[in-house]
Structure 1
Amino acid sequence: MPEVDLVFPRAFVEFVNPADETEVMRCDLTWLTSSYMCIFGQGCQGIYADAPDTGCCTLGAHFADEDDEERVKTFVDQLDETQWQFHPGRPVKRKDWIETDDDGERKTRTLTVDGQQACVFHNRADFAPANGQGGAGCALHGLALQQGRNPLETKPDVCWQLPIRRRFRNVERQDGSTYTEVTITEYDRVGWGPGGHDLDWYCSGNTEAHVAVEAVYVTHEAELTELMGKAAYDELVRHCDAHVRSRSALALHPADPR
């Protein structure tokens, strides 16, 4: 099925962060109560037609800041050849997995193998180490699962946040007081910038990826809690539960099954 139109009515809720009265959370109920799920390895076509097996890992991951890079480094140092297909076979150096883009921003390196470009941590389908593990997917994601962690601990921020998007905006009220508006919404094509419209396939608005049994606010509890804080997430759940009970067909994400 084709992707839905990028512009459609959405239901939002706003509430003060119970843990920080200077923040007002603005949450996209239409997205958060949708049936989206990541379908990597289950029908994902990749963002580029010439790299269908690499999902959204084709371009590598930009680091949010130095703390993001340093956190990832602690887990990169724990990877070995049985977990990471492109491990250098010696103590890992930053140049093995970090590069800068044309704007000087630091990101994970990309490699092109058999004509398919992907992040250096993306193990290809032919990865078959002697321990019987392997297969396609993120080495850092696999490490987290092996260690009993949530992958948000080991992967760059942009990787575990996608396709949830968090934005900040400083707002001044008419009385001169201010607050920080924190928007939690869908990371659709627009979130990728002008190049997002050039992607050959994208999941968040595609009916093929709206097949989860439970809604995003349930399946992405860990990610939302990390992005919002526990108190704000608990308040979000209350609003999402009420929205699910009362919503009409007009409030559904258009990629959801009818």
Structure 2
Amino acid sequence: MITEALLLASAWFWAPMPQGQALVCQSPQLTICLAQLPADARQQLPQDPNVLLQEMGHRGAMARPIRHQSITGVILLATDNIPRASSALLNGQVYSLTLQHAVQLTLLHELGHLAIASSHSIYLNNHRLSGYQHEWLADIYLLWSLAKNNQPNDLAWQQYHRRNLAVFASTSAMSHWTTPMLGQLMQIYSWQQLAEFEGFDALIDDLYPRLSQYDQDELNEFSSLIQRVFGSGVMHSLPHYMFWRRPEMGRYIRPTIETLMGKQAAESWLTQNAMNGE
């Protein structure tokens, strides 16, 4: 995995990928960075770097795919905008999670977006992917990369918890609520088995047809339930509200609730909110 020192100290560098490489640019040095691209790749991006910076806004990172025989795309990093902690309010108490290697994990997620764009898997080429599919596929690339590079699965669980905490804090993060898909991935494969896939496409070809996916209506139901349970203005738990989604939601958030509260308190909270059991 690319070191934090390289990520923070370099104005630009090339990140290797299963197919080709990506140019990683620190946003303050974007003009210098883009000059490293060959002409046929550079012309696929706006000639004015400020256009890219405006597209990026206040995000910590952004990926732009490029069609090229050896370059998958460009990633912009604004490391100061990448959170180093995540928090949420549960039962009137704020719980926080320190994010280790936050910049590296953000980069891996963005590399995942480029891997999706350059994928040869029939599952990613035969259908138009939704924005939500792009996000969970990018997180699956992140987890596969960690396993492939012999990183601990603690970082995979950190990403899992981070996605849950984000929606606990605000349902505007539902577009990146990749937890249901990450949970399925970790049920299907052990960490060692995940590392045995030589390429991302090989993983997708094996995994994709085995996943249970959610359409937008189903995601909207989860969003409504999350708002009812975690919203700051909620006065009563209403355990029967969206009852058909609660056990499923309980499975997805249990590991995070246990990590924050401890198993005993988490069990009590899940039971109180009708999320314990099928």
Q: Confirm or deny a common fold (TM above 0.5).
A: no
TM-score, normalised relative to structure 2: 0.29
More strand by share: 1
